[in-house]
Structure 1
């Protein structure tokens, strides 16, 4: 990603918005302490000149020792106040950074929830998220540098410049020979690291994924049993080495640039010292002024080096990730007017087609279908036939590339996603296993609903969750479903029941079960679907399944193949047709018969 011309202002505006919203007064204190600290440094320069001139006057008898001691005490007070303000400023900036990182992370999550879900099927978009998350963490580091530049460095260099101008105007011009090379160095380094970040996102995502495959609890059992540790470790090393190689090349280029600019800065510093000596010898400045300027120039060079070669150098390497963060926030969201649509009243699909990003073939190809109010339909087909994709289109998660999906006479592509989401409940094959209590795992599907034992019990009963089992749920609904947090581990089948209970708890009139029973044996699955048939009464429901015996409970069965609807009807009518459905059903029945005889 490349920076737009006003990217710096956008970063500042975004950061100020985050900080102002979450810590307004702390932000004001940060600016005030930073400005005050810069002025105290300049005041110390004036005090130093005054101290040396007073000391020289005391030696000549033109000033008393008491007055000299008073000046020394004043310098000490300034130094103490400066240290206190510096400590306060550092504390405030550290707190602001924590708050800002949290605020930036919130913006990432909010934005991600508003982007078209189909974007998550695009690897480039996943790289963008990875880069944006990295940029969110670095955003305030960069903002901190900008804020320090505006509230500390500019006031300091402006006032010290005025001080030098009053002594000898040429001293101000000579300072440019010190600072300009530092700015050039920062600009060139920023450009080098921007070029790096354009290539680093995919590599970073790769090695982070391989690392999870090695150490995460989600993977470790299979990794250990299959002996795949060395395989993933090699992939991890290869991707990390490739990233480090790119970083090394960029660092070498940056260091060479820095070395050249540092030599120019050194020449400028020597030039200022030469002018000071000439001015002192010629009597243009006093000994006190010489000492103060000599000290202030050293401080100015040190601060300039800190500002440009430390803070801005550090942030130059982070700038590309922050640009990615800003650009991610600018990605267009799925928009549309909110309308209180009710999918349970029926859904009409008019000749819709859909293709995943980066593929050459339609996943859904010219499909037309009408789902009637209070009808239960089953969508069946072989793996890859388009069952789950069609379901996501019906739910409004994806929008078709052509054709239209109508609910209550409105095209869902023209309304906000929440217009359809609010009216449905769904359980998918790839459900989430939250490391929460059983109660929270179930009630999270409807957070606006008051949690009652009656609602929980009904959902658990419908999903056949054995809540009375002391071994499965020793603390009842308060049982934490993760050993990582001193809870319990559930089997795949038990987790699926919990996920189904979660779907049933969200009391809506449009219910979708997208193959949520893969880890449950066929007998228990049949019982579960019988309960589902009871729940689905007087509601509109969709079942997606590869076990055709479960499809019998549907009022109508939709058979898919290669993204098309090839058959539809009841179980009996489809069996009489003797085509795709009958072929699949017969094959499954024979499989169960053969396995039953073997047992």
Structure 2
């Protein structure tokens, strides 16, 4: 229940005014139910007088008209309530999604499978937060108030009737407890399968993968994988749904016993109530079971399966995503080691170096040597497992850059919206020299008719990184999608354009030959850190890499 209280507090803080209005309407809904019961009893009493000849036809017609008017007004109110609740849910849902989007996760989090499972659950929890809180508050403000009124009403008729309420309520509490335990075990078993299912579903809906599915005719292969995941998902679910079915069947039998007890009580007390009260008692008993099934059982049962996702959402909101970064005048690594989450192997081991903010440094090595990992530590995107890091505020261009479906200008300006875009740089790196396209057009086949090559996208990523105007720059394979002629032009441009220091991670050693220093990595360790000439003479690995890349 702690997570429910936290969720309600969150919803209240997101929009206090709408919260009070929305749940104030729920209380009015409860009062309308009370009013309906009394209106029914009043009408039945008048009907009894009319049948016995103690009430005129005209007065009976007036009382019937008033009863119908009451029903119409209550129906109109409930229609308005439904409209406002839907509007409230729409407004609140957008604020909840923003709350999740405002959470600045560290990139290292996305290397952790456990975090990805929790995040997948949290997305479901966020989308259902209003539904979950509405269900529980409904039970208190609407179903709970109705139930309390019925208890008072029946107690005034006869204390024996309260036994029905107590038995029904206890049954629902026990049943919901068993259901919740079953649902929690189910979620624990399927959360990883759900994420796998979402992945294989996305393969058939993503623009990039659809091309390969068609070319390599791999749809059948992935459909088999998807079917296997679905079967595992269904098998895991079947066991728990059988348990839920048995729990429901047990509750059904107990409810039949409650019905029998209820009618026996009514039968033995038939001489103590008048005909109007007798009719209302039958309606009330039915309402008790209806409230129990719809509110205490139905609403709570529906949200029980969502409580683990709610817990995940609250866990994400409460998680600490602050980066533990120390900014200095230079970049300094002291005995730094790094492991990826859930891994026992070091990606980097005992790294020590110092780079001044006016130095230009290349980082080279074979695949898997730790080059990109090192660059992310410099940028503060990852946090070291051991050792101490001091770094500087840097801009960056990544190998896996993002293709924002925005205009060319927006793709550049988003890195620093306060600065005006320098269009001269577009021409300096040959962006759109062949096609004089409008820089304001959206680069997306989804939203416009403009499409550009991978190389042009990479140039935009470089321009975006430069536009950020930081005191240091980190480039991780910034030209891998660009032809050698333009690549040389871009590196010359970077050397001349950037007056501060920079790090360039690359496989193309000729691109970093003129750097102040070059760092050579092998299996997560620094095996060389010197000028190009000194490394050629004294470092066998660098000499091998240089010879291979230039022949």
TM-score (normalised: structure 2): 0.95
Q: Deviations over 1:340-388 (max 9, x none)?
A: x4x6x32111121111122222111111111113111111111111111
Instruction: Give, in angstroms, the shift of residue 459 of structure 1.
Output: 4.1
Whether 1:562 aligns to 2:484 is no
Question: Which consecutive unaligned segments of at least 5 residues does structure 2 have?
Answer: none
- Distance of aligned partners of 1:567 and 1:350 in 2 relative to their CA distance in 1, 3 Å threshold: same
Give the conservation status (yes or no) of the 8 Å contact 2:139–2:296.
Answer: no
Deviation at 1:335, TM superposition (A): 5.8
Q: CA deviation at 1:467?
A: 5.7
- Superposed CA RMSD in Å reads 1.9
Deviation string, structure 1 residues 190-245 (Cα, Å, up to 9, x no partner): 11111111121111111111111222102111121112111111111111121122
Out of 175, 179, 183, the residue aligned to residue 169 of structure 2 is 179
Deviations 1:106-163 (A, max 9, x none): 232233x1x4432211111111111111111122211110111121111111112111
- Output the CA distance in 2 between the equivalents of 1:335 and 1:588: 37
- Matched residue SS, 2:504: strand
- What is residue 507 of structure 1 aligned with on the other side? 469
CA contact (8 A) 1:441 1:502 kept: yes
Match for residue 417 of structure 1?
A: none
Measured in 2, the distance between the counterparts of 1:277 and 1:332 equals 63
Counterparts of 1:587-598 in structure 2 under 5 Å? 587-590=548-551
Residue 13 (str. 1) matches residue 1 (str. 2): no
2:203 paired with 1:207: no
Query: Is 1:431–2:384 an aligned residue pair?
Result: no
> Structure 1 residue 466 and structure 2 residue 460: aligned?
no
User: What is the distance in 2 between the residues matched to 1:250 and 1:518?
Assistant: 50
Asked whether the equivalents of residues 182 and 265 of structure 1 are also in contact (C-alpha less than 8 Å), the reply is no
Q: What is residue 446 of structure 1 aligned with on the other side? A: 416
Correspondence for 2:95: 103
Contact 1:132 1:321 survives alignment (8 Å): yes
Corresponding residue of 1:318: 306
In the other structure, the counterpart of 2:286 is: 298
Structure 1 Cα separation of the partners of residues 457 and 217 of structure 2: 27
Counting matched residue pairs gives 551
> 2:478 aligns to what?
516
* C-alpha distance in 2 between matches for 1:239 and 1:529: 47
Report what 2:182 is aligned to: 192
Aligned-partner Cα distance in 2 for 1:148–1:467: 63
Report whether the alignment pairs 1:333 with 2:331. no
Counterpart of 1:527 (choices 484, 489, 498) is: 489
Q: Residues 490-526 of structure 1: CA distance to partner in whole angstroms, max 9, x if unpaired?
A: 2211111111111111112211111021111222111
TM-score (norm: length of structure 1): 0.88
Shift of 1:552: 1.7
Cα distance, 1:460 vs. partner? Answer: 2.1
The unaligned stretches of length 5 or more in structure 1 are 408-419, 591-599
- Given that 1:178 and 1:269 are in contact with CA atoms closer than 8 Å, whether structure 2 keeps it comes out as no
Q: Which secondary structure does the structure 1 equivalent of 2:269 belong to?
A: helix
Q: Which moved more, 1:540-549 or 1:89-98?
A: 89-98
Alpha-carbon distance, 1:273 to partner: 2.2
Distance 2:21 2:429 in 1: 55
Work out the CA distance in 2 between the residues paired with 1:362 and 1:93. Answer: 53
Q: Is the 8 A contact 1:197 1:320 kept in 2?
A: yes
